[in-house]
Copies of this chain bind each other. A is one copy, B any other.
Amino acid sequence: MTPMRIAGHEFTSRLILGTGGFPRLGTLDEAIRASGTEMVTVALRRIDAAARGSLVDVLDACGVRVLPNTAGCFTARDAVLTAKLARDAFETEWVKLEVIGDERTLLPDAVELVAAAEQLVDDGFIVLPYTTDDPVLARRLEDVGCAAIMPLGSPIGSGMGINNAYNLRLIREGTALPVILDAGVGTASDAVLAMELGCDAVLCASAISRAEDPVAMARAIRLAIEAGVLARGAGRIPQRRYAEASTQHEGAPE
């Protein structure tokens, strides 16, 4: 696979792993290694300073880049503040920007998201926004200077997969930025489909951390992503309305 570039940084792995929901730190460690990921997200707000310490130790030992996120923020103001705290805590300009608009679905708030993205870009952050599957919003986020587009497939933790493949295709066609599917993945088939639709990467949290066997699922999704990238590059056959025999003429060299 060709590497993916975000803000000038190259990633060989196309899987970003969320660190939430793992039963134990040891399982997280194993899942990171099985997944082959090079970057993991960490919710600044959701972990206390002490726990953060041991978490960071694990991530350091795995040699993965930390992408702090602003999970739990409901306004641009709150998200910007959280991003700044995360910059200090994790010593990185990178931030996965979440501005949530609804508690029950954790769907993004388009208007607050754009406002927060604009402020953070102005302040020198590398901003990767968690967004709806709205192609117009994606272009607006590109216009304000975000480094990638992270649309959802379905709500966080829902495991419903990709509810609107059509919109994901439009986002892919409409932006030169990396497109990273960011929520809804439930299992391997969701990940391969995302890549076939043209996504550059997939972010998984619950699909892996809450699977019965997180390490096996980490490996499954890693393979699924690789399969999807290969399949997209291999030029699939068109869908036909009727059948076509694989061998049609007698005497063909098969």
Residues of A at the B interface (CB closer than 8 Å) are: 18-22, 24-25, 28, 42-43, 45-48, 50-51, 54-55, 71-72, 101-102, 104-111, 114, 132, 134-137, 139-140, 154-160, 163-164, 166-167, 170, 174, 186-189, 191-193, 196, 205-207, 209-214, 216-217, 219-221, 223-224, 226-228, 230-231, 233-254
Contacts and interface: CB of A to CB of B under 8 A. Distances in A.
A107 B132 contact: no
- Looking at A214, A233, A243, the one whose CB has the most chain B CB atoms below 10 A away is A243
Contacts of A188: 192, 196, 227-228, 230-231
Contacts of A106: 243, 245
List the number of copies, as a whole number.
4
- Looking at A163, A221, A230, A249, the one whose CB has the most chain B CB atoms below 10 A away is A230
B186 A237 contact: yes
A28 B210 CA distance: 41
19 contacts: A20-B252, A22-B254, A48-B250, A101-B136, A101-B139, A104-B242, A110-B111, A155-B240, A156-B245, A156-B246, A158-B243, A163-B164, A191-B227, A211-B234, A211-B235, A217-B236, A220-B234, A223-B224, A223-B230
Contacts of A221: 227, 231
B254 A42 contact: yes
Given A156-B246, A188-B230, A231-B220, A174 B102 contact: yes
A180 B106 CA distance: 24
A21 B246 CA distance: 5
Nearest to A156: B243
